[in-house]
């Protein structure tokens, strides 16, 4: 079916694929983890934002160094070590991704620019609805997810305040070369800790949601590609019916070629995502295996009805959700890619000439090797990986509990 659309509708549709990550980019730029778009970088605002990004990287790195020093100082105290380690690992992951956004800025911009390709934004009503749903869900999710990080960090600052009001000595889980028992120093250190942890929490969850959205966009494009393959002969017949000067076989080959180009772009986008973020993904998967372990150790020592238990449970839920995002959408890309062969065979290829059928067989052979996103090009992002990580984390937790 051929649909005639206006220029305004084309512009609106063309922005849907790139619009799926627009909220993510806005949050990351606000946090100083991602640079501005091309035109804004040359302005004064772009220069100031570059300084802000450098300041953010220096601040988060300094906080990480303070945590490392503190963890070395309390290495003999398991309770204090567990308290700092899960945050330390989270900050290492965040800085690794932050560095990727700095180093790979040009290539990431190229990858995002590819989302505006016409093949990614085809003017068909069914595809438009699909792209709109993908973009809307991505925007809602990243807002809810980053808000959850803010709530978690806000709960954390209530503990020092409560201890302070009760007259207890407050010890922050990072190295401070000063006495923070005075009211002014306590307020300053508390504000510093809240700012950095909240900034890292928002940026870290947003970066994970960003990567998940890129994978989800690949999955959506694979679904559109499959729909195009399945109705390829019908589309060719409709075009030749409205344009008798074009032959059916030539039109079929042209549409088939466009589908192959679309398939190649999806493959490149998936490979780019794995290549550009391979260090961040690998750190995320590795540290998300350790974070639940340290979190469970903390939870096991807390009162179930306390605010500390609620905040720790919320934190563990956040980090497990981050890991689940990678594994779920990586699994979805693989599953959708495996269905491409079935869609190729489902089209009405019997009426086509022999050369087209030979080409179809070759593409089907290629499609038998599905896309398999991997963290660090090593660890497959799949639901099976997620289950294995959860099982291994619980096993180590049980061993440590028995050891204690």
Instruction: Name which of 83-92, 114-123, 194-203, 326-335 the model is least confident about.
Output: 83-92
Half-sphere exposure of 122 (CA within 13 A, CB side): 20
pLDDT digits (tens, 9 = 90+) for 200-242: 989 988 988 898 898 999 999 999 999 999 999 888 888 888 8
pLDDT digits (tens, 9 = 90+) for 370-394: 888 887 667 788 888 888 877 777 7
Instruction: Check if the beta carbon of residue 68 is closer than 8 Å to that of residue 91.
Output: no
Q: pTM of the full predicted structure?
A: 0.83
- Separation between Cα atoms, residue 121 and residue 123, nearest integer Å: 6
Helix residue spans in 166-247 (DSSP H): 183-230, 232-242
The predicted model gives 82-101 an average pLDDT of: 80
Q: How many domains does the chain have?
A: 1
Tokens standing for residue 317:
């839920």
Task: Please report whether residue 120 resides in a domain.
Answer: yes
| Residue recorded with tokens 């593409």 | 363
pLDDT of residue 2: 37
Instruction: Name which of 88-92, 98-102, 135-139, 149-153 the model is least confident about.
Output: 88-92
Task: Please report whether residue 100 resides in a domain.
Answer: yes
Backbone angles phi, psi at 145, to 5 degrees: -70, -45
- Separation between Cα atoms, residue 370 and residue 367, nearest integer Å: 6
Task: Please report whether residue 82 resides in a domain.
Answer: no
pLDDT above 50 for 286: no
pLDDT digits (tens, 9 = 90+) for 171-194: 888 888 877 878 888 899 999 999
pLDDT above 90 for 62: yes
- Greater confidence (104 vs 210) lies with 210
Task: Please report whether residue 62 resides in a domain.
Answer: no
Task: Please report whether residue 69 resides in a domain.
Answer: no
Task: Please report whether residue 178 resides in a domain.
Answer: no
Whole-number percent of the chain with pLDDT over 90: 23
Task: Please report whether residue 180 resides in a domain.
Answer: no
Q: State how far Cα 34 lies from the chain centre.
A: 14
Residue range of the domain that includes 12: 7-34+93-165+191-403
Which has the closest alpha carbon to 266: 335, 215, 342? 215
**Residue 404 pLDDT level (bands cut at 50, 70, 90):** low
- Greater confidence (82 vs 96) lies with 96
Instruction: Check if the beta carbon of residue 274 is closer than 8 Å to that of residue 377.
Output: yes
pLDDT of residue 29: 92
pLDDT of residue 248: 85
Q: State how far Cα 223 lies from the chain centre.
A: 20
Task: Please report whether residue 227 resides in a domain.
Answer: yes
pLDDT digits (tens, 9 = 90+) for 343-358: 998 888 887 888 888 9
**Residue 306 pLDDT level (bands cut at 50, 70, 90):** low
- Separation between Cα atoms, residue 404 and residue 395, nearest integer Å: 14
């Amino acid at each position: 079916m051929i649909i005639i659309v206006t220029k305004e509708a084309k512009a609106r549709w063309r922005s849907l694929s790139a619009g799926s990550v627009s909220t993510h980019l806005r949050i990351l730029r606000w946090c100083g983890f991602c640079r501005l778009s091309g035109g804004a970088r040359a302005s004064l605002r772009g220069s100031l934002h570059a300084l802000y990004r450098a300041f953010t990287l220096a601040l988060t790195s300094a906080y990480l160094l303070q945590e490392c020093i503190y963890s070395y100082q309390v290495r003999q105290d398991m309770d204090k070590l567990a308290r700092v380690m899960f945050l330390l690992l989270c900050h290492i992951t965040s800085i690794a991704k932050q560095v990727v956004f700095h180093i790979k800025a040009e290539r990431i911009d190229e990858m995002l620019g590819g989302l505006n390709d016409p093949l990614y934004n085809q003017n068909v009503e069914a595809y438009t609805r699909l792209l709109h749903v993908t973009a809307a869900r991505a925007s809602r999710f990243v807002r809810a997810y980053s808000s959850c990080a803010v709530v978690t960090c806000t709960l954390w600052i209530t503990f020092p305040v409560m201890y302070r009001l009760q007259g207890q000595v407050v010890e922050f889980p990072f190295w401070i070369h000063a006495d923070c028992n005075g009211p002014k120093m306590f307020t300053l250190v508390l504000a510093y800790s809240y700012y950095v942890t909240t900034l890292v929490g928002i940026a870290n969850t947003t970066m994970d949601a960003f990567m998940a959205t890129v994978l989800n966009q690949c999955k959506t494009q694979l679904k559109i590609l499959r729909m195009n393959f399945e109705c390829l002969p019908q589309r060719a017949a409709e075009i030749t019916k409205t344009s008798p000067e074009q032959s059916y076989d030539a039109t079929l080959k042209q549409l088939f070629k466009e589908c192959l180009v679309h398939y190649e772009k999806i493959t490149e986008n998936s490979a780019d995502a794995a290549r550009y973020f391979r260090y961040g993904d690998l750190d995320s998967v590795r540290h998300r295996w350790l974070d639940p372990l340290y979190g469970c150790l903390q939870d096991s020592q807390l009162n179930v009805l306390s605010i500390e238990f609620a905040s720790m449970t919320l934190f563990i839920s956040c980090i497990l959700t981050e890991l689940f995002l990678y594994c779920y959408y990586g699994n979805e890309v693989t599953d959708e890619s495996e269905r491409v062969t079935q869609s190729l065979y489902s089209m009405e290829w019997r009426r086509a000439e022999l050369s087209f059928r030979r080409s179809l067989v070759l593409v089907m052979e290629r499609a038998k090797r599905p896309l398999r996103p991997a963290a660090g090009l090593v660890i497959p992002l799949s639901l099976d990986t997620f289950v294995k990580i959860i099982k291994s984390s619980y096993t180590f937790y049980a061993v440590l509990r028995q050891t204690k």
